Amino acid sequence: MSLIQMNHVVKRYGSRVSVDHLQLRIEEGEVFGLLGPNGAGKSTTIKMLSGLLAIDHGEMIVDGLSVAKDPIGVKRRIGLVPQDLAIYENLSARENVTFFARLYGLRGALLKERVDEALEFVGLKERQKEKPGSFSGGMKRRLNIACAIMHHPKVIIMDEPTVGIDPQSRNHILESVRRLNEMGSTIIYTSHYMEEVAALSTRIGIIDQGRLIACGTQEELRAKVGKDEQIVIRAGQLSEPAVAELRRHPGIKQAIVNEDTLELLTASAQAYLQDILFVLARHQVKIQSLTQIEPDLETLFLSLTGRTLRD
């Protein structure tokens, strides 16, 4: 039996469907990456799984417990690292972790041991007496993680934990995720940074407009793209007739314009490159750069939705 099961989960906000019949299984010990553009429904899914939002339809089960029927039981098994920093500025780092640890029911020597462990884990033991006001953005993010892991949860949910931080802190957090997984926690990691998800996850789910449009290991997902290749062209002035003509070309599957960049998905870059250059030259498009990209998750998302993850 899977550790986490989501069966036909639906969440509506008025007439807008935020999560649309989501079906998903996550096994124990996995690092599951949930990938999708902003507004795709990742955070809503996470909030429902954490018991923060009511499920309109369907069911979510964590470790055999229904989120709807036994939310307290589910919450004991989960550690949520929210997208926004959720720490108290006028409590010290140690007081922050201790406060949340007490609410997880930890007391006495175990409480002290777990708080020490969590602070050590995120590298804030030396600065445990300081208040977050004196911390950098990355350190605050690490404290945000410490507040969610001290009770050794079975499932750690990280909702975009690296937003707005420096590369060094990002690497620290990514390394923390790997170590938490090695220590036995199942991780659900949401991000719209493809590279992070690709680097961490054992399996990846791609979500768009509330629907799970692809799910599997990186190899399985790459296989779905097949041998499609991506060509990215930067040009001075991309004319609409040129793009329209490229879209009509039988060898080109997708043509997306992002300001002065044209992203093309084709079965073979080598076979059709000459045609592409010919069309652009005929429409007097001046090319500044041309890059051929190996198929990746971005390519897959592009081929499935016709949009990029950054949209």
Partner 1 sequence: MSIFTIARYEITRMLRLRSVLIIQFALPLLLIFILGAALSGTFQTGAVELKPVKATLVTADTGPLAEPLATFLADPDIARLLQVERAASREEAVQRVRDAASDLAVIVPADFSGKALEGREATWEMVPGRNRERSVTAQLLLGAFLEEINVNQAAALTFGAPADPALRSGTDAASQALESVRVGSLGSDGAAYTATQYYAASMLVMFLLYSGMSAAISLAAEKEKHTLQRLKSLPVRGVSVLLGKIAGNSLIALLQAAIIIGATKLLYGVDWGESYGLLLLVCGLIIIVSMGLAVLGMLAAGSTKAIASVFQVLIVTMTFLSGGFMPLPAGWISRLGEWTVNHWGMQSMLRMMLGSDSAVIFHHIAMLSWIACGTLLAALVAYRKVGYRE
DSSP bridge pairs for 190: 34, 159
Q: How far is the CB of 153 from partner 1 (least distance, A)?
A: 11
Pick the stretch among 80-88, 135-143, 201-209, 293-301 that binds partner 1 (CB under 8 A). 80-88
Verify binding: residue 147, partner 1, rule CB under 8 A.
yes
- Residue (89 or 260) nearer to partner 1, CB: 89
Q: How far is the CB of 255 from partner 1 (least distance, A)?
A: 40
Query: Could you give the angle at the alpha carbon of 304 between the alpha carbons of 247 and 157, nearest 5°?
Result: 145
Q: How far is the CB of 233 from partner 1 (least distance, A)?
A: 41
Phi, psi (deg, nearest 5) at residue 56: -75, -35
Verify binding: residue 100, partner 1, rule CB under 8 A.
yes
Alpha carbon distance 152, 228 (integer Å): 43
Q: How far is the CB of 83 from partner 1 (least distance, A)?
A: 8
Alpha carbon distance 76, 67 (integer Å): 11
Verify binding: residue 1, partner 1, rule CB under 8 A.
no
* Residue among 80, 139, 155, 215 that touches partner 1 (CB under 8 A): 80
Alpha carbon distance 119, 111 (integer Å): 12
Verify binding: residue 51, partner 1, rule CB under 8 A.
yes
* Residue among 7, 10, 59, 104 that touches partner 1 (CB under 8 A): 104
Verify binding: residue 82, partner 1, rule CB under 8 A.
yes
* Residue among 10, 65, 91, 174 that touches partner 1 (CB under 8 A): 91
* Residue among 15, 90, 270, 289 that touches partner 1 (CB under 8 A): 90
Verify binding: residue 78, partner 1, rule CB under 8 A.
yes
Q: How far is the CB of 102 from partner 1 (least distance, A)?
A: 5
* Residue among 40, 55, 87, 122 that touches partner 1 (CB under 8 A): 87
197: exposed, middle or buried (Cβ count in 10 Å: 0-12, 13-18, 19+):
buried
Residues 193-212 that bind partner 1 (CB under 8 A): none
Phi, psi (deg, nearest 5) at residue 227: -100, 20
Verify binding: residue 76, partner 1, rule CB under 8 A.
yes
Contact in structure between 265 and 254 (CB atoms under 8 Å): yes
Q: How far is the CB of 119 from partner 1 (least distance, A)?
A: 17
Site string for partner 1, 11-50 (x = CB under 8 A): ---------------------------------------x
Q: Which residues bind partner 1 (CB under 8 A)?
A: 50-52, 72-73, 75-76, 78, 80, 82, 84-91, 95, 99-100, 102-105, 147-148
